[in-house]
Structure 1
Amino acid sequence: MEIIIGPLILVAQVALNLFWWALVISAILSWLVAFNVINTSNQFVNSVGSFLYSITEPALRPIRRFVPPLGGLDMSFIVLLLIILFVQNVLARLQYSIG
C-alpha cells in the first residue's frame, strides 16, 4: 500500500505546484492587461490568457460565491492559494508519516 500512496502523493504535490504557478501567472497577466502593459489583441497573449482562464476559473468560481470582492480586489485568488498551501502541507505530512 505504501508503494502506491507515496508516488500518488508526489504526483498530487506536483499537480498542485503547477496549478499554483498557473494561478500566479494568470493574476500577473490580468494585472498587465488591466494596466495596458500588454494587449489582448496579440494572438499569443490572448491564447495564453484564454488557456489560463479555462484552467483556473473552475476552481475560483465556487470561492467567489463565498468571498466577495473587497474594494474591487478579487480575494478568491488568495483564498485558493491558501487552500493549495494547506493541502500541500497535509500531503507532505502524510508522506512523512508513511515513511
Structure 2
Amino acid sequence: MTSLFQILMLLLGVVRTVIIIHFIMSWLISFGVLNMRQPIVAQIWDGLNRLLEPLYGPIRRILPQMGGLDLSPVVALLGIYALQIILTNNAALFY
C-alpha cells in the first residue's frame, strides 16, 4: 500500500507541474515572448490545453466570470495541494 501512496503523490506532483507550465506559458504568450505562429509553441499550447481542459472545465463552470481573468489554474492548484495534505495526513492508512 505504500507504493499506492507514492504513486498518488507522484501523479499529483506531475499534474501540479503541468499546471504551472501551462500558467507560465500563458503569461509568456500574453506578453508576446512566445509566438503562437511557431509550430512547436502552437503544438505544446494545444496539447496542454487539451490535457488540462477536463480539469479546468468544471472549475470554470463554478467560478463567476472575471472579465478575461481565468482563476481556474489557481483553484486547481489549491485543490491539488489540499489533496496532497489529506493524503499525507492519512498516510498511515496506506501502511
> In 2, Cα distance between the equivalents of 1:18 and 1:95?
19
Which residues of structure 1 form unaligned runs of 5+? Answer: none
Contact 1:69 1:75 in 2 (8 A): no
1:31 Cα offset (Å): 1.2
Contact 1:68 1:74 in 2 (8 A): no
1:22 corresponding residue in structure 2: 18
1:87 corresponding residue in structure 2: 83
> In 1, Cα distance between the equivalents of 2:22 and 2:94?
35
1:84 Cα offset (Å): 0.4
69-78 vs 52-61, greater mean Cα deviation: 69-78
2:3 corresponding residue in structure 1: 7
Contact 1:20 1:81 in 2 (8 A): yes
82-91 vs 65-74, greater mean Cα deviation: 65-74
Q: 1:70 aligns with which of 51, 66, 69?
A: 66
Q: Which has the higher contact order (CA 8 A, sep 6+)?
A: 2
1:23 Cα offset (Å): 0.5
Calculate the TM-score normalised by the size of structure 1. Answer: 0.86
Identical aligned residues as a percent:
32
> In 1, Cα distance between the equivalents of 2:27 and 2:36?
12
Letter in 2 for 1:80: A
1:96 Cα offset (Å): 4.1
Which residues of structure 2 form unaligned runs of 5+? Answer: none
> In 1, Cα distance between the equivalents of 2:65 and 2:35?
25
